[in-house]
Amino acid sequence: MKESHDTTIKPASPESPICVLRAFLKLGRLPVRPRPRIPLHRTAQIESNLGSINGKGCENITNQHDDDSIDSSEIALTIVCVAYRRPQSLQVLLHCFLAQTSQNFRLLVIHDGPDDEIASILAEFASRYPHRIDYLFTEERYNDYGHSLRQIGLERATTPYVLFTNDDNYYVPVFVETVLRVIEENDPDIVLFDMVHSHDAYGLTYYVLITEPRMNRFDVGSGVFRTDLARAVGWRSRDFAADGIFIQDVVAHKPNLKIEKIDKVLFVHN
């Protein structure tokens, strides 16, 4: 006797990946109203052209960019991505940056110790996009939440601005374009933007973090920094809370710090 199966189509759970993705795309276009503890300059609302590329696959989007179309001396942003043995997540992050509407960046992936599988993936991407992607492996694992790797990447950055992120994060397609427009118009020391926790932490609350430049309201991937300012402070902490310590050090270092805050969700933190 065959077992009966319920074939009723049920609505997706709010925590399912597709619902989270839909919410993320929606939030990326809506303004949110933070209540910062220190004065921030509010950027003008920026119109997103996210809808113009909805429905396209990553390969179709990435193939539209000429890898050497921007002179290396004109690159404005270095993206330092720390990684450790997450090949699928890393490829999502790589594609999210190759799908950016602005390719005015240089991505440096630093892996915590040797790994053959990751090396194969990065070699393929770097061969296809040699002017956009670079990578290195430390000789041994630091195992300090990626903070030593961030310091290594910071020392190698040659662009005016730097972003620190992790291999399991990803950003909306207009992220680079939006941030660089704010930089061009306002010449800030820091650009902050909001984020989502998290599409893959099943069982935990999914929520938006309205970022502020202080402990417990900031993640390392939610801010772009002037490189010389970040280098002057450095990653002195190697603890779990080093993100908060870093932003506090930056704020304390420069009395008349100019911070631009974009009232949009621009990335998912996992």
* CATH code, domain carrying 31: 3.90.550.10
Specify which residues 108 forms β-bridges with: 80, 134
**Is pLDDT above 70 for 64?**
no
84-88 average pLDDT score: 96
Is residue 21 domain-resident? yes
Is residue 171 domain-resident? yes
Omega of the bond leading into 198 within 30 degrees of 0 (cis):
yes
In this predicted structure, which of 104-108, 156-160, 214-218 has the lowest mean pLDDT?
A: 214-218
**Is pLDDT above 80 for 49?**
no
Higher local confidence (pLDDT), 64 or 87? 87
161-187 average pLDDT score: 97
pLDDT score recorded for residue 205: 65
Is residue 123 domain-resident? yes
**Is pLDDT above 50 for 207?**
yes
59-66 average pLDDT score: 43
| 43 pLDDT tier (thresholds 50, 70, 90) | low
Whole-model pTM: value is: 0.77
**Is pLDDT above 90 for 244?**
no
Is residue 138 domain-resident? yes
Nearest one of 28, 48, 43 to 101, comparing CA atoms: 48
Is residue 56 domain-resident? no
Tell me which residue range forms the domain holding 233.
Answer: 17-45+71-269
The number of distinct structural domains making up the chain is 1
Is residue 59 domain-resident? no
| 42 pLDDT tier (thresholds 50, 70, 90) | low
8-19 average pLDDT score: 46
Average pLDDT of the chain, as a whole number: 80
Is residue 90 domain-resident? yes
Is residue 54 domain-resident? no
